[in-house]
């Protein structure tokens, strides 16, 4: 009985913290339409800032909290709103997700720069161990305070959003930003305020929970991420339901930790540990909730894209591009050192993994944060069945990953946008915590791998990778031009139009998920081959972030974009390695640049809000414009061939695919089509997925 | 009563030369496609001007330029004699330009009362807004705690129109009030337009179908493919209208 009370109190306290964090998330989401994946990271920074003031500098508790909540968190909020989110109007959901993920990634990388991971950090509960007695169990003052704060936050938010003009204005901005302006409200100030409020709530949650789980960057970030599950129970909009969700989550987790039996011998004998499941409870709950909530309600703001282009590649120029890639790799690889060759090989493997995102995200508009987990399965397969370079290992890598793809796709069929991103992130987290850490699968954290056909020379392996990339890339170009490719495009553009055309989105979605997972599995197997080892670290949930970021930075809808993304990622580690040890003005410049390169994927991702089409498209667009100007200068009329042909000839080959860029529908057009068809998006989806 | 009106003085001196709204050579585009090719239009103080034209003529774009929602690429917009190019829509709203956009100009997920509260951003008190709105539209009072999006189309449009009444604007911009509504409700809404006009508010109203609006308009302008092709009193225009583009 005492124990039960203890667990219950513990659960309620956890729930209170999740509720505070989740309500911050809900506030920013409802007022800006942006689901802030970096919310947890803001909480993490808040906790570290509190440590700095209170523990390091010895400020009084209340003063430290006040400074964090009233100064630091609002500064972060305003920064995020001004610098990152303002540019995000009229971009697709994919871009919004990517930008906040970039922010998440950046903040995770920034914290260790300020607070070295070598140091030790901890904060004490408020009032130490002082406690009162409740039905025989001790409840600490800290726990009481946490519960009290959650109640105050709930009441305060309700009063703000429903009882004040500012709050009503914030909700009005969500409904119709333009109309709010026409009413004379100032939407910019309102969204700035909601970001400030959201940050402060995240920081508050971070401070309250730091005492329990300690100050560790990723753990803290992902703990607040658990709050996502609660927010999703509230469908990202209802605060009441969010609190209910938090309560379920907190209690569930507390009871699971308290009552889950020891690992049964049957499992133990097989080196499987089912207790690790309790770590994944919030994420499993997130997954379940995503599936149980009536999906018609699960809609994100503005599902259409606008500033993004989907280039249509041509066979001829793709072939030229792949030829050049293989040629250049063959030539240059002779001049590279063994270690550099290895890094470029990894880059090409990342490129192949990013290729898996081209049909899925680039064409089909489905976000996945689990590609590295599929890759991890591929790595596992080759390590297990690819001994002696047996090609069976690679075949099984593709099949195993594709099978997992079905597993993710089936439940994900009814999800899209941020919900899909969340579900795939949840999957990645479960893979990391529950699957990859089973000793039955990976006896140690790394498993030796034999390269395919015993390609021992690094140079030969690099050239082999270029060939594989080209083959897969060509397949994707073919796909883009096929009927299936047009289907994917239609799925991305307008669900309503799809329904009227009689397209079966369910099958299309399933197919593209399987295909994508298979490609990622192949990439993972080849990656493990390059390293001669399958290391579980490489496939943790966090590793998905830079992969998605760099894929989008290169150009998510282009084969050349995937190549660019992969090579960029490799070039960062190459650059980091090649920095000499040096000191500038008494500062350790080497570690400064190392940090900079570690931040690079995040920083690049953040800029995507400004130019969502990626690097390749940006450059080829510039080149095209320059050439057009030159043609005009010379007088195009005299040219024997149409100007467009000439434009194609001079473009850099690696940008070949952006030729013949076709202009997509603008959101207004899509909306008009949908409206003309008198179709409500929810109805359509209900019909399509029925 | 409110700054924009005050500056030219509704009732001060003889100000016939300064119209409340004037467009001079306004050009506007979406991306590289120009859709307004030099619009000249005047709304004299205290009058109702109807802007008519077929689908895609550029009426909404013209109205949006006046409301500050769309930046013109050439030309100028004068409100009460002051150049207003590039002024933000919310700033215009606070100085007395009330725009009721195409479609339903309401917040569907706020209650009726909260919708009314949004009107106070224009600088009037909630008491005033509620008094005016509930008096003129008793139906809104009954439904004050209902979500606005769950009301009928006509009720929603009334709620939208309540802003034109309650915020006491100097200039009212209306886009296709009649869209998707039964003729009898359209009649009622134009009754309100006439009432607002009678208080001396200058009104620019956009419509595709002319009949009802011509009853309240002092002047009408016909727009075709981004140009104003004809301006005159409704009586003169009416005859030519049906054959011109309405196709009878
Ligand atoms: N957001 C937009 N992007 C691109 N073109 C647009 C956009 N909005 C309007 N247009 C184009 O500008 C032109 C004028 O449109 P506008 O909406 O002003 O016409 P309208 O006279 O109000 O038509 P309607 O009676 O159908 O409302 C049309 O050709 C339209 O296609
Ligand atoms: Mg219009």
Is B61 touching ligand 1 by the criterion CB < 6 Å? yes
> What is the model's pLDDT at position A270?
74
Q: What total of structural domains would you count in chain A?
A: 3
**A250 belongs to a structural domain:** no
Q: Are A75 and A210 in the same domain?
A: yes
Q: How far is B221 from chain A (nearest CA, A)?
A: 24
Question: Tokens 């969500």, residue?
Answer: A174
CA-nearest residue, atom 14 of ligand 1: B58
| Structural domain contains residue A472 | yes
State how far the Cα of A634 lies from the Cα of A198, in Å rounded to an integer. Answer: 57
For residue B161, list chain A residues with Cβ-Cβ distance below 8 A.
none
pLDDT of residue A438: 83
Question: Residue ranges of chain A with pLDDT lower than 70?
Answer: 1, 89-90, 223-225, 293-312, 416, 493-504, 581-590, 608-618, 620-690
In a domain, A450, yes or no: yes
| One domain for residues A568 and A632 | no
Answer yes or no: is the C-beta of B29 below 6 A from any ligand 1 atom. Answer: no
Per-residue confidence (pLDDT) for residue A494, from 0 to 100: 63
Q: The domain spanning residue A546 has which CATH number? A: 1.10.3470
Q: Rounded to whole angstroms, how far apart are CA atoms A226 and A18?
A: 7
Of B67, B110, B122, the CB nearest to A171: B110
Say if residue A628 is in the same domain as residue A574: no
Are the beta carbons of B246 and B209 closer than 8 angstroms?
yes
Q: Is the CB of A669 under 6 A from ligand 1?
A: no
Closest CA to A516 of A635, A336, A364, A690: A364
Nearest to A101 by CA among A410, A538, A532, A549: A549
Exposed/middle/buried for residue A634 (C-beta within 10 Å: 0-12, 13-18, 19+)? exposed
- A328 found inside a domain: yes
Of B88, B108, B122, the CB nearest to A183: B122
Contacts of A647 (CB under 8 A, 6+ apart): A624, A627, A628, A631, A659
Residues of chain B with pLDDT under 50: 1-15, 243, 246-248
Contact A183 B114 (CB under 8 A): no
In a domain, A587, yes or no: no
Residue nearest to atom 12 of ligand 1 (CA): B35
Using the mean position of ligand 2's atoms as its centre, give its distance from the Cα of residue B247 in Å: 19
As a whole number, the mean pLDDT across chain B is 84
Q: How distant is the alpha carbon of residue B246 from its chain centre?
A: 22
A246 in a structural domain: no
Segments forming the whole domain that contains residue A673: 624-688
Do A415 and A326 lie in one domain? The reply is yes
Where in chain B are the domains? 98-165
Which whole-number Å values give the CA distances from A489 to A46, A512, A515, A554, A573, in the listed order? 41, 12, 16, 19, 34
Do A549 and A630 belong to one domain? no
Q: Which of B37, B50, B58 to mutate to test the pocket of ligand 1 (most atoms within 8 A of CB)?
A: B58
The DSSP secondary-structure symbol of A304 reads -
| Co-location of A557 and A649 in the same domain | no
CB A489 within 8 A of CB A305: no
Residue ranges of the alpha helices (H) in chain B? 3-8, 59-67, 89-94, 112-119, 126-136, 138-142, 153-166, 183-198, 211-216, 234-241
Determine the residue of B23, B27, B30, B174 to mutate for testing ligand 1's pocket, defined as the one with the most ligand atoms within 8 A of the Cβ atom. B30
Which residues fall within 8 angstroms of residue A315, CB to CB, at 6 or more apart? A477, A478, A481
Ligand nearest to the CA of B64: 1
Q: Would A564 be classed as within a structural domain? A: yes
What pLDDT score does B100 carry? 93
* ipTM of the shown complex: 0.89
Same domain, A628 and A538: no
Ligand 1 atom with the smallest distance to the CA of B176 is 27
């Amino acid at each position: 009985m005492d124990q039960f009370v203890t667990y219950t109190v513990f659960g309620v306290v956890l729930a209170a913290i999740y509720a505070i964090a989740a309500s911050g998330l809900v506030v920013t989401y409802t007022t800006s339409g942006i689901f802030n994946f970096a919310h947890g990271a803001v909480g993490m920074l808040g906790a570290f800032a509190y440590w700095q003031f209170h523990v390091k500098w010895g400020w009084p508790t209340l003063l430290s909290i006040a400074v964090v909540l009233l100064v630091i968190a609002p500064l972060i909020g305003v920064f995020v709103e001004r610098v990152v989110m303002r540019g995000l109007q009229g971009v697709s959901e994919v871009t919004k997700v990517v930008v906040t993920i970039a922010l998440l990634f950046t903040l995770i990388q920034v914290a260790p720069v300020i607070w070295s991971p070598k140091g030790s950090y901890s904060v004490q509960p408020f009032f130490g161990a002082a406690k009162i007695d409740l039905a025989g169990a001790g409840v600490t003052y800290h726990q009481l305070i946490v519960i009290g704060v959650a109640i105050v936050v709930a009441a305060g938010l309700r009063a703000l959003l429903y009882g004040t003009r500012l709050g009503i204005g914030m909700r009005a901005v969500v409904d119709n930003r333009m109309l709010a302006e026409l009413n004379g409200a100032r939407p910019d100030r309102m969204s700035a305020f909601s970001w400030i409020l959201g940050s402060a709530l995240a920081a508050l949650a971070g401070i309250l929970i730091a005492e329990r789980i300690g100050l560790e960057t990723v753990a803290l970030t992902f703990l607040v991420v658990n709050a996502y599950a609660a927010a999703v129970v509230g469908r990202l909009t209802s605060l009441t339901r969010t609190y209910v969700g938090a309560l379920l989550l907190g209690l569930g987790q507390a009871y699971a930790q308290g009552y889950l039996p020891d690992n049964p011998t049957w499992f133990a004998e097989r080196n499987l540990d089912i207790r690790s499941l309790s770590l994944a409870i919030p994420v499993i709950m997130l997954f379940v909730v995503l599936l149980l909530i009536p999906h018609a309600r699960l809609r994100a703001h503005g599902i259409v894209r606008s500033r993004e282009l989907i280039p249509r590649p041509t066979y001829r120029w793709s072939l030229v591009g792949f030829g050049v890639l293989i040629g250049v790799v063959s030539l240059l690889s002779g001049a590279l050192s063994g270690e550099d060759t290895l890094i470029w090989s990894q880059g090409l493997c990342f490129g192949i993994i990013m290729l898996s995102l081209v049909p899925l995200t680039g064409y089909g508009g489905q976000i996945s944060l689990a590609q590295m987990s599929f890759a991890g399965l591929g790595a596992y397969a080759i390590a297990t069945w690819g001994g002696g370079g047996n090609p069976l290992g690679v075949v099984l890598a593709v099949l195993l990953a594709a099978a997992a793809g079905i597993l993710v796709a089936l439940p994900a069929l009814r999800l899209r946008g941020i919900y899909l991103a969340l579900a795939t992130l949840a999957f990645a987290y479960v893979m990391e915590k529950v699957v990859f850490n089973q000793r039955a699968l990976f006896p140690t954290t790394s498993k030796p791998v034999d390269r395919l056909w015993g390609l021992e020379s690094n140079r030969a392996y690099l050239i082999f990778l270029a060939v594989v990339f080209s083959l897969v890339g060509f397949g994707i170009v073919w796909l883009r031009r096929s009927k299936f490719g047009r289907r994917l495009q239609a799925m991305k553009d307008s669900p309503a139009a799809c329904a009227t055309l009689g397209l079966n989105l369910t099958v299309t979605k399933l197919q593209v998920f399987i295909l994508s997972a298979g490609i990622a599995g192949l990439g993972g197997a080849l990656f493990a081959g390059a390293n001669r080892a399958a290391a579980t670290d490489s496939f943790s949930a966090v590793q998905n972030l830079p992969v998605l970021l760099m894929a989008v930075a290169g150009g998510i809808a282009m084969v050349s974009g995937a190549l660019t993304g992969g090579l960029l990622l490799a070039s960062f580690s190459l650059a980091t390695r090649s920095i000499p040890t040096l000191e500038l003005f008494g500062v350790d410049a080497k570690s400064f640049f190392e940090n900079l390169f570690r931040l690079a994927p995040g920083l690049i991702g953040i800029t995507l809000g400004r130019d969502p089409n990626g690097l390749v498209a940006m450059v080829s667009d510039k080149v095209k414009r320059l050439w057009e100007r030159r043609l005009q200068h010379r007088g195009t009329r005299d040219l024997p061939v149409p100007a467009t042909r000439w434009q194609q000839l001079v473009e850099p080959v690696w940008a070949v695919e952006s030729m013949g860029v076709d202009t997509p529908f603008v959101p207004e057009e899509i909306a008009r089509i949908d409206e003309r068809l008198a179709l409500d998006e929810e109805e359509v989806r209900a019909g399509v997925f029925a | 009563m409110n700054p924009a009106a005050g500056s030219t003085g509704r009732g001060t001196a003889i100000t016939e030369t300064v119209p409340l709204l004037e467009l001079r050579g306004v050009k506007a585009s979406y991306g590289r496609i120009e859709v307004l090719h030099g619009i000249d239009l005047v709304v004299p103080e205290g009058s109702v001007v109807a802007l008519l034209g077929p689908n895609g003529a550029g009426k909404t774009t013209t109205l949006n330029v006046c409301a500050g929602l769309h930046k013109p690429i050439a030309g100028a917009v004068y409100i009460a004699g002051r150049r207003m190019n590039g002024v933000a829509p919310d700033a215009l709203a606070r100085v007395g330009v009330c725009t009721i956009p195409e479609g339903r100009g309401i917040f569907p997920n706020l209650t009726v009362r909260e919708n009314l509260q949004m009107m106070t951003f224009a600088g009037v008190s909630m008491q005033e807004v509620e008094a005016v709105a509930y008096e003129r539209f008793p139906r809104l009072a009954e439904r004050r705690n209902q979500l606005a999006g769950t009301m009928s189309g006509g009720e929603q449009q009334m709620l939208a129109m309540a802003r034109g009444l309650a915020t006491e604007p100097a200039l009212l911009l209306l886009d296709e009030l009649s869209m998707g509504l039964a003729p009898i409700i359209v009649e009622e809404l134009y009754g309100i337009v006439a009432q607002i006009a009678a208080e001396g508010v200058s009104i620019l109203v956009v419509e595709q179908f002319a009949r009802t609006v011509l009853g309240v308009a002092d002047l009408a302008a016909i727009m075709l493919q981004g140009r104003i092709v004809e301006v005159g009193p409704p009586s003169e225009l009416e005859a030519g209208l049906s054959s011109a583009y309405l196709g009878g």
